[in-house]
Structure 1
């Protein structure tokens, strides 16, 4: 299928998801949250708190890029680059997870973006998130965008532009795929997100080596980490991936708060929408989709492959062990039930990265 046909198909899928995205009127819980944000923001401004930007990892093509950030309040005297710490600064790892959720967002703030030789004006949403698609011509490679709300609080955001000649990309889940978290069991989810030291999170055996081999097999391969986790834990996840040798790449996270349709954002809907967005913005890529059978990854990936069979190179599912299945689901669900998929595209399943690597090699996707 041609690139134009892929683009048309992907954009049609994205429009379909957007059409079913929910009501125009926010859920009552969202309205309460908006009132709280307004009241707290007003009080913090009276105490001379300042606006600070937390930049996230952006990405795009040579014609359009996506810039991501979060606007929030900070106490007087907080450095402008407080949220822009180097990923290799591991001294910041040893903090409790709850600290990442203790801030106050600043909704609907105007944000300036300087990228290349062009300046853009965008606006944060009701949760303080800046998510802007910018029409800008940039060569493939790594770039930096400068963002600010007022002169003096500038931060830089990494933006990677992928070459149109690249053919294969990878999308990876995070929880129980690259990092052992035992989600979605509520108590354990709370414990891992809010209590456990960031430095004590465990890596899934063999997964860093698998990802490194895939990148070696496909030089310049884009790697995206797609999770239902909150943007609050972006620095935690970014440093975890760096510390354990995973390839660098943008994180596609979400907001945990109320939405137009309910108390919490739908995790599967977030993943469906993110995959369709990637397909629409990078139609020249065929995707290796990596996840686990502890949540909805097999179904989400299979549904995406059914909509866009020409865009899926392979699906790889990490099978949870019986104890992990018990913690995640409260029962010893048979592993084979969670890894069913169509014969096309290629679907691989194994309990860790070492065995998945063997599966890829036997399938001829990675050289031995």
Structure 2
């Protein structure tokens, strides 16, 4: 009984810290705050997204601890996005100014006239809101792959990397922060498989790992914690939609065609690279990916689909899609385990032998 109580207290405090973290940058003083997400790009152009908020001050002289975290969560709930604010962004020798939309979001597309340093894949962007003295500056990480990279990976998150629950915030938080969350949230073998894909045949390739989700931007930091907790290679997490779920906009925004649009954007950005796509059979990933193969011939080398469906006729429909993409020079692999994906990836030279063996060992140990 005492052990369960300690676990519950630990879980509660951990959840509080994650939920409170996005507002702590103002040190309780309130005002205007920039919250950037990870950016991505190439040596030609980079993309960055974030949001500008106004949040109230703490109002109480609370030190760090449970009460402070609870107060910060309340501040997070009542803060709001600021429209029509100009955000100055500086990356290397490049500067740009963008304006926030009605919900406070900004989207920056910066064309590079000079190449960024190639001795690192993570670059820093400095951000500030113009026209106000109360705003705090922010720093965003931007991923630009090495010039000699050989392959890029785009993966769905929901029911592909982690068990479903992103669409249900309460369920996701429960799974993420309960005892042994690393075993309960991610599919067996996912972490070593994605590490192997990131490292490539040599183990140190540093390939782009791009993730998409149907979840909202409001759970960004929770997914960051999930990736860190499960040792999944970091990459820009590209969500499909902003659900809203605020006092100003309580209804979710439509997500029609957004996944295909994001994938097409990545194909355009990294136009010299072949791609591997990873999804699941529970939604329309096989259909979306097969359509992309048809419209972008010779760009997709392999599609991995995690089998999570229960419908008896789903295998046949996916088999027909596999035959269709094979005619276009692509393979579609329906797999019930990370081990099966890893064995195929090793045969095709996508990952190293050590990477494959790590997936096999982890998959079998976690099952």
The TM-score normalised by the length of structure 2 is 0.71
Please say if residues 268 and 296 of structure 1, whose CA atoms lie closer than 8 Å, have aligned partners that are also in contact. Answer: no
Q: Say whether residues 1:131 and 2:107 are aligned partners.
A: yes
Q: Distance in 2 between matches of 1:144 and 1:252?
A: 18
Who is 1:74 aligned against? 55
Query: Conserved in 1, the CA contact under 8 Å of 2:200 and 2:206?
Result: no
Tell me if the contact between 2:58 and 2:75 (Cα under 8 Å) persists in the aligned partners. Answer: no
- Check the 8 A contact 1:71/1:129 in 2, yes or no: yes
Does 2:175 correspond to 1:192? no
1:281 maps to 269
Displacement of 1:216 after TM fit? 2.2
RMSD: 3.1
Structure 2 counterpart SS, 1:304: helix
Superposed displacement of residue 63, structure 1: 2.0
Query: How many pairs align?
Result: 290
Higher relative contact order (CA 8 A, sep 6+): 1
Structure with higher Rg: it is 2
Contact 1:230 1:255 (C-alpha < 8 Å) held by counterparts: yes
- Structure 2 counterpart of 1:148, from 128, 147, 168: 128
Cα deviation, residue 99, structure 1: 9.6
CA distance in 1, matches of 2:293, 2:156: 16
| Mapping of residues 223-302 of structure 1, within 5 Å | 223-253=209-239, 254-257=241-244, 264-302=252-290
Which digits, 9 at most, give the CA deviation of each residue in 1:154-209, with x for residues without a partner?
A: 0100011223332210001111111112576xxxx35425x636423511111111
> Which deviates more from structure 2 when the two are superposed, residues 342-351 or residues 234-243?
342-351
How far 1:364 moved relative to its partner?
A: 4.6
- Which residue matches 2:315? 336
Q: Is the 8 A contact 1:298 1:338 kept in 2?
A: no
Deviation at 1:362, TM superposition (A): 4.0
1:311-350 paired onto structure 2 within 5 Å: 311-320=299-308, 322=310, 332-337=311-316, 339-340=318-319, 341=321, 342=324, 343=326, 344-350=329-335
Structure 2: tracts of 5 or more residues without a match: 1-28, 60-68, 246-250, 354-367
SS of residue matched to 1:246: coil
> Given that residues 69 and 130 in structure 1 are in contact (C-alpha distance below 8 angstroms), is that contact kept between their aligned partners in structure 2?
yes
CA distance in 1: counterparts of 2:186 and 2:303, whole angstroms? 20
Q: TM-score, normalised by structure 1?
A: 0.71
Provide the C-alpha distance between the structure 1 equivalents of 2:273 and 2:79, rounded to a whole number of angstroms.
37
